[in-house]
Amino acid sequence: MTSDALKTEFCGVPMATPIVLLSGCVGFGEEYTRVKGYSNADVGAVVLKGTTGDKRLGNPPHRICETPDGMLNAIGLQNPGVDTVVDEILPGLDFSETRFFANVSGSTIEEYERVTRRFDDSDIDAIEINISCPNVKEGGVQFGNDPEMSARVVAACRALTSKPLITKLSPNQTDIQLNARLCIEAGTDGFAVINTLMGMAIDSETRRPVIGNVRGGLSGPAIKPIALLKVQQVYEVAAKYDVPIIGQGGITTATDAIEFIIAGAAAVGVGTALFYDPLVCKKINAGIADYLERHDLPSVKALVGTLEV
């Protein structure tokens, strides 16, 4: 049972808590339901694994490497393709438990359009546009690090759906505020800030990259200070247009989540922490509820963007 104070909404979608499970961390929404004590009812929304037009096998191994206070991953958008996801996976999800957001990925604008069109004709609650994936060799990085290209992808997807669009912004770019503004003008309804940072690891004995893809996305507590700064920067732009943000990057505790909300996040994303504590969401919910009560705040929304500088 979650506290009423935790109830919120994101882009008009009602959520039982501000916690969003991040794309790629829980498969297509069913993986963690097999963990004893876990329930999707404890989270506000689940973002499904990145989905492309056709089936992808992903990158060669190794795909994951543990790092100090984090991990590198280069899965490479392995997925069965959008038709399989819509026709075979979505019907098996329990939409009475939580909200489900699709994650649209592609190598071309035409592929983004194809996947968005398919999800538009489904029960999915919102669509996240993944224009910033650092662990594939084409598509994501180029789109996400160029504000003009980012806006073109958003505009193309906007023309094909009335569902809420959430643009996932890259930290690996020069001006995230410009990118945010252009995406708002192109029609995004919300942001996910941030995606993983680009990184690599080397095996000193073999003198070869540990990751088969050479580079991968760095996530976990190590990136939290960067993620917090990017959320605050994007909030300075997005707040003027009443565009909400999912803050994400290294959240493992309720205190982490609260910091992101203060910085401007209307919801908070949890990902890497799930790998070593599958029940962490219950603890984060309890901590946020306790904080709201101690500070006499009626809701999560009352805390959003309250940073004093």
Quick: pLDDT tens for 207-228: 999 999 999 999 999 999 999 9
How many residues does this entry show for the chain?
309
Q: CA 222 to CA 284: how far, in whole Å?
A: 19
Active site residues: 133
Residue 136: band (very low, low, confident or very high) from pLDDT cuts 50, 70, 90? low
**Phi-psi map region of 12: left, alpha, beta (phi>0 left; psi -120 to 50 alpha):** left
From the list 274, 173, 281, 290, the residue with the least C-alpha distance to 226 is 173
Q: What is the mean pLDDT of residues 273-277?
A: 95
CB 39 within 8 A of CB 15: no
CA distances from 151 to 109, 144, 248 (A): 11, 9, 21
Block residue for tokens 């997807």 = 157
pLDDT, position 204: 98
Residue 146: band (very low, low, confident or very high) from pLDDT cuts 50, 70, 90? confident
Q: Is residue 309 part of a domain?
A: no
Q: Which residues of 143-169 are buried (b: 16+ CB within 10 A; e: fewer)?
A: bbbbbebbbbbbbbbbebbebbbbbbb
CB 174 within 8 A of CB 239: no
Block residue for tokens 């438990």 = 97
pTM of the model: 0.95
CB 125 within 8 A of CB 99: yes
Q: Is residue 308 part of a domain?
A: no
Q: Do the bridges between strand 19-21 and strand 45-47 make them parallel or antiparallel, or are there none, so unpaired?
A: parallel
Q: Do the bridges between strand 208-209 and strand 202-203 make them parallel or antiparallel, or are there none, so unpaired?
A: antiparallel
Number of domains in the chain: 1
Q: What is the mean pLDDT of residues 34-45?
A: 94
Q: CA 272 to CA 25: how far, in whole Å?
A: 7
Quick: pLDDT tens for 233-255: 999 999 999 999 999 999 999 99
Tell me whether residue 175 is exposed, middle or buried, using C-beta atoms within 10 angstroms of its C-beta: 0 to 12, 13 to 18, 19 or more.
exposed
CATH classification of the domain holding 288: 3.20.20.70
Ordered alpha helix ranges (H), the chain: 82-84, 109-120, 140-144, 147-158, 176-186, 224-238, 254-263, 273-276, 280-294
Q: Is residue 96 part of a domain?
A: yes
**Structural domain of 71:** 4-303
Block residue for tokens 């069109």 = 117
Residue 110: band (very low, low, confident or very high) from pLDDT cuts 50, 70, 90? very high
Q: Do the bridges between strand 190-193 and strand 245-248 make them parallel or antiparallel, or are there none, so unpaired?
A: parallel
End-to-end CA distance of the chain: 36
Q: 165 by DSSP, 3-state: which?
A: strand
Q: What is the mean pLDDT of residues 193-204?
A: 96
Residue with the larger pLDDT of the pair 294 and 1: 294
